[in-house]
Structure 1
Amino acid sequence: MTNRHIEKAAQLAPIVERVHGGHHPELTRVREITQALHQSDNTANIPELFQELRTVTDNYAIPNDVCEAFGAMYQALERSDKQQAAA
């Protein structure tokens, strides 16, 4: 699955995980799912991946103790999720 939102999230995910992973261990799974979406040609499993993302991120809720990149990553993922749901 390639779109600009997933592209952006895939670029930010490893950085955000490195910076905030100590306080937000869910970021490892967020990075893994984001990479899977970014590399996925299998559209069949995309809805399940987004469902897991919604669960892991508490529906893309941005914590108060994070940087702009963290927020930008969650916003990009949420936009991509809404885009694929509308497709």
Structure 2
Amino acid sequence: MLEWCAQLAASLERDQEVRKIVEVVVVVVVVVVVVVVVVVVVAAAAAVVVVVVVVVVVVVVVVVVVEVVVVVVVVVVVAV
């Protein structure tokens, strides 16, 4: 009976050690997943910002070119 109790106690100690290891692994996996999600979200946000900046720059360049063309046309028409 004492031997059986000793084996049960040893088994419970091993179970607790395994449980601690599993808890650590779960925490590490959760942290890694959260970090990956944050990196992906930040990268997506950065990509959106880059696209918005490029669109704004293109619109500004087009507006400036159109204004220059209008000014040149007006100057040519007035000169003629």
- Quickly name the TM-score band, shorter chain normalised: under 0.3
Larger radius of gyration: 2
TM-score between both structures, scaled by the size of structure 2: 0.27
Larger proportion of helix: 2
